[in-house]
Structure 1
């Protein structure tokens, strides 16, 4: 009897021990599986640049453009952007040709490209740094040269490639045989960056009725473009805004937002990459069985120097993915290329890649008239999702976007 009681007692302790351990494991599991929360932050750290494109031009046979000669160059621009150029009136002490500020208007009120003869916008300016007779140094403000019709001395003609949003400007020296016959020096040109509301530089190269600067003075006095080219190079570059970012928490091994090497699935990525609208993608993701939650950071385009963030909930084993539009493009988006555990903390920028959704024909970033920045709609295409290549001088990811989780 005592032996049986001992057996039962021992069995009872064993069951209690098992139950106790089991209960402990269940409690720990419940704690582990309780939702946790983190915050993901997206920062637009791109450097602002005055000009989206710039360059120089010179004669074909010699750098100087003589009467009867012409020169052409290509540039890309969207609605609201304009072209500024400058070249020395060679037969002077300090005069130069340039257009009105902020430059040559390229599109009419209806958004149609302006083509043909645009010579009427050319003006002849006195740099104010040399006496027009003796060449002695002066310190007068830049002013228009009176009684000279610049459009009779220099002819400008624009042509336009609508697919590329690319213009060609031809500058012809037509001063031969006039009272103001002159050679033209090598020159410079630039297209001001546009941020969706205004040009970043509305008075490129010089400011009328103000004192000159060393760069335009070298052009006006010597026909030397070296200083201006250096300044333009330092202030020219692609920049961008970012769309509100979508963040998805999911289970499994497949990123639910996109699959590189495949065609766009129609789940809403096209809308994000072309217009920055995340609503369709948000709705599609919420209906997926492996999606735990969908979150939106920001509610408006993210300008350089700004940040947006959102908190998200997850349980161990979950993963996160995110997407935001490269705003100054036709159909590009930033997304994590590598799989990311939802519990990860720290800087995720190195896991981020710039992709082309393959749904719209590309144009020069920040200068393509079919980009949503200019109220356009991309020309449709259907190619697989891929990394953005080196066709355009796009800043590296880490120079545009910073992604962190805390």
Structure 2
């Protein structure tokens, strides 16, 4: 029996009992050794069913949908300011660019593992650029260990020199190569309308003799923390590295490197595809492709398109739901430590049954159950983009709904309504429609937060349940996605809708 029904029955029975024990001569009540002034109460509303107020009742169906738009690149950015520099500039001999990336062994199970790619211009050319092969540079070994477990790793042997196929090659030092152009000039050479090709035998289509890659560029990767790396791109050329015959017989020069764009990815070919036109190719599908970097060393267009293709894919876990009375904080209380009743198991590992079982015996709770099997699935599991959970129940006016599901790319974050839950009726009518605006992202305060989608103690990448370090701030608290660089807005991840009908 519901607690509020029990309470009404208790009140009705007590009034009748007090009336039966009263003394009509002095209007006092005798209850054991206690006396009180007689209370005259009209109990007709409690004893006569025909006069009771009708309470609205309805059937509800709740659908939880993962509405993430999958993006093919996990993390991206630009490198443009040399170490010790004050602003963007090409990289000259002895200088280096450095940038940091976040990457776990995988982003999603079975995705092939995280890799690094980048693009930077071989400046003594019309449209040549340095980049790893399409597959990128692996950041982890097959056994899940970092490639940098024993210190910084030189990955220069995985860097190739490529021809973008966008501008006809000239003799090195030619007038349409960047060193001979004004700083702001773009796209000055003759269009080639070709495809991206790898430079082999140290020679471009014009026949220029080109230096070995390791004579111009050195790339190292270093672990600077769990699932965090520092990438260093250094210009190791000298003033005599390359012949520039267009500038005069026996004239030699260094090879500057340009600002560039990087990406952490799991699928191959973020920026270009060998044998295809540069425009629109790769995961970034940039309309300019690598052309602006390969011809002029300008990264802005490729960066913009790459960032449009960058995002976090967030699965949602099995979760718990409950209907309950008003003013019942069934799952949590904001700015208060976790109740220790099972929310932690959802927020850290996506396991709902402990919370469901505890809620079954909690005062003010009507129903508590789990949602764990996606629509169309044969068994329990998380839902990725396009996946849905659904559950149904009956409730009456005055009831509230609470639910919780894990933000799976985290250590201990979960989506839920407010701690008071969501009122299922408004002015006697059952609510219906999209209620996603009432869903909020919370930190359970039970485990230290790592970079979302990369942390080694997040459920996709951890070796066992509940394995992360304890959070120094143990309170359940709100998370504002706008304050975190790679967290989508709530409505870009989860949609909760309700269908209802009066009984």
| TM bin (shorter chain) | 0.7 to 0.9
Say whether residues 1:140 and 2:194 are aligned partners. yes
Q: Which residue of 2 aligns with 1:93?
A: 126
TM-score scaled by structure 2?
Answer: 0.69
**Separation (CA, whole Å) in 1 of partners of 2:365 and 2:298:** 62
Deviation at 1:301, TM superposition (A): 1.7
CA distance in 1, matches of 2:198, 2:224: 33
Aligned mates of 1:391, 1:369 — CA distance in 2 = 22
Greater radius of gyration (CA): 2
Q: CA deviation at 1:367?
A: 2.7
Q: Is the contact made by 1:274 and 1:378 (CA closer than 8 Å) also made in structure 2?
A: no
What is the CA–CA distance in structure 1 between the aligned matches of 2:341 and 2:461, rounded to whole Å? 25
Aligned twin of 1:155: 218
Give, in whole Å, the separation in 2 of the partners of 1:380 and 1:100: 41
* Cα pair 1:248 1:294 within 8 Å, conserved: yes
Instruction: Say yes or no: does 1:318 pair with 2:355.
Output: no
Q: Does residue 301 in structure 1 map to residue 382 in structure 2?
A: yes
Contact 2:449 2:471 in 1 (8 A): no
Q: Secondary structure at the match of 2:389?
A: strand
Distance 1:121 1:100 in 2: 7
2:289 partner SS: helix
Q: Is the 8 A contact 1:77 1:369 kept in 2?
A: no
User: How far did residue 66 of structure 1 move?
Assistant: 0.8
4+ runs of 1 displaced by more than 4 Å?
none
Unaligned runs of 5+ in 1: 1-17, 193-198
Cα distance between partner residues in 2 of 1:371 and 1:209: 39
For residue 104 of structure 1, report the CA deviation from its aligned partner.
Answer: 1.8
Bigger Cα displacement from structure 2, 373-382 vs 141-150 = 373-382
Shift of 1:113: 1.9
Q: Are the equivalent residues in 1 in contact too, given 2:242–2:255 (CA < 8 A)?
A: no
After TM superposition, the score normalised by the length of structure 1 is: 0.85
Shift of 1:36: 4.2
Query: Deviation per CA, 1:232-285, whole angstroms, max 9, x where unpaired?
Result: 232223341211232111235222111111112222211211121212222222
2:431 to 329, 345, 349: 345
Query: 1:51 — aligned with what?
Result: 73
The answer to which structure has the higher helix fraction is 1
Cα distance change on mapping 1:159 and 1:41 into 2, 3 Å: same
Work out the number of aligned pairs and report it: 376
1:109 aligns with 2:142: yes
Q: Does 1:183 align with 2:256?
A: yes
Q: Tell me the SS of whatever aligns to 2:460.
A: helix
Partner of 1:120: 157
Contact preservation (8 Å) 2:328, 2:364: no
Segments of structure 2 that go 5 or more residues without pairing to the other structure are: 1-43, 106-112, 172-188, 203-211, 244-253, 280-287, 374-380
1:283 to 357, 360, 370: 357
Give the one of 494, 499, 502 matched to 1:401. 494
- Contact 1:70–1:170 (CA under 8 A) maintained in structure 2: yes
Aligned 8 A contact 2:259 2:298 in 1: yes
Once superposed, what is the RMSD of the aligned Cα atoms?
2.5
Contact 2:319 2:351 survives alignment (8 Å): no
